[in-house]
Homo-oligomer: A and B are copies of this chain.
Amino acid sequence: MSEKIRIESEQALQVGIAALTKAGVPDAGARMQMDLLLEAELRGRASHGLLRLPRVIERIRNGVANPVTEGTSRWRGDALLQVDGQQGLGPVVAWAALEKISVRAKTTGLAAAAISNNNHLGMLALYAERVAREGQVLIALTTSEALVHPWGGREAMIGTNPVAVGVPATPDPFVLDMATSLISMGQVHDYANRGQALQPGWALDAKGDPTIDAGAAKDGAIAPFGGAKGYALGLAFEILVGALTASALGRDVTGTLDSTKLCNKGDVFIVIEPESDAMTQSVTDYLNMLRSSVPAVAERPVVVPGDRALLQRDASLKGGVLIAPEVWQRIRDLADPAGNELGSSLLH
């Protein structure tokens, strides 16, 4: 892969929106989808960034993503919204659901959305951050295709099942966003591309034997984070989301990594009202106490989750985002009709 190039974020946004619009996404939806991809890019999370845009568009072309719907929903109870995403774009369906449950939680105290038939949500951190900036707590869960092996097992049977938690604090909310896998399959591919060895314990090969060969790990499984506990947690999220959304489980999950299959994983959002606004200050004070506590290594201060991402975002807004030139070329081709032919050939 060639060296990355620096693109001004507003330019990336406009080109991405143009590409989505060409694929039939209405302007508002195109902005929501690009917002998720660009905000990931701004925070240095390239795996959830512009790299994913061509697949979003391929999925629309292949009829497994619907560019115009925000899904349908009904209240299964006063506080529980059941959403059929109808194969809409992940962020479009997600924001529509979040809007409804955030309003509802103001009277019910908490409200949740159980979403099925929705495409990839993108970086969960953004949902957590925005809900928390508005003064509410968010817990977000989503599942994925089976990539993680059970602790003591040999086969990929569990999704990477990330969790996000947003809690109001000042000046910025606390935002946790982490997969329950030790590494991502994207990292495995990066290591393979660079011909670099994995760390022992990170992955298994196709036979289920431990491997440090990234190429072999691509057809195998990645480890849960934190050993038996991380396995237990990722599994708990898989079936919790399954039970609430009636989504597919384990190896039956499709459509989060490919361009041709319907996406049948589930998403769960829970929005909760804090006890009082006063708690925002208590949480802030506590987080600041952590940041200023004595570090193990003098020059490496204790970090609170989300801090680094926001620093990176500030830097990217000033200096632009770093994008692989092939990715940028693809997106420009998708945005510019004259380049459609090249764009398509690169997509397959």
Contacts and interface: CB of A to CB of B under 8 A. Distances in A.
Contact of A293 (B150, B276, B290): B150
A240 B132 CA distance: 11
Nearest to A237: B165
A174 B233 CA distance: 12
A154 interface: yes
A339 interface: no
Given A76-B109, A77-B110, A79-B108, A293 B240 contact: no
A112 B271 CA distance: 11
Contact of A168 (B77, B110, B151, B243): B243
Contacts of A325: none
Contacts of A79: 78-79, 108-111
Given A208-B294, A246-B279, A293-B153, A77 B273 contact: yes
A240 B139 contact: yes
Q: Describe A's contact surface by its main secondary structure.
A: mixed
B293 A154 contact: yes
A7 interface: no
A79 B76 CA distance: 13
Interface in A24-50: none
A286 B243 CA distance: 12
Contacts of A112: 109-110, 272
A165 B241 CA distance: 11
Interface stretch (A8-16, A301-309, A311-319): A301-309
A68 interface: no
A57 to B, nearest CB: 31
A100 interface: no
Interface stretch (A87-95, A212-220, A224-232, A254-262): A224-232
Given A152-B297, A208-B296, A275 B108 contact: no
Contact of A296 (B105, B153, B168, B246): B153
Interface of A: 75-80, 82, 105-112, 114, 137, 139, 150-155, 157, 163, 165, 167-169, 174, 176, 178, 208, 225-227, 229-230, 232-233, 235-240, 242-246, 249-250, 270, 272-276, 278-280, 282-283, 286-287, 289-290, 293-297, 300-305
The 3 closest A-B pairs by CB, nearest first: A80-B109, A226-B226, A77-B109
Given A76-B109, A174-B235, 18 more contacts: A77-B107, A77-B110, A78-B109, A79-B111, A108-B108, A110-B111, A152-B295, A153-B293, A157-B289, A157-B293, A178-B233, A225-B227, A238-B286, A239-B283, A242-B282, A243-B280, A249-B286, A250-B286
26 contacts: A77-B105, A77-B108, A77-B109, A78-B107, A78-B109, A80-B273, A110-B111, A110-B270, A152-B296, A152-B302, A152-B303, A153-B296, A153-B302, A154-B294, A154-B295, A168-B243, A169-B239, A178-B232, A208-B294, A225-B230, A226-B226, A239-B286, A239-B287, A246-B275, A246-B276, A246-B278
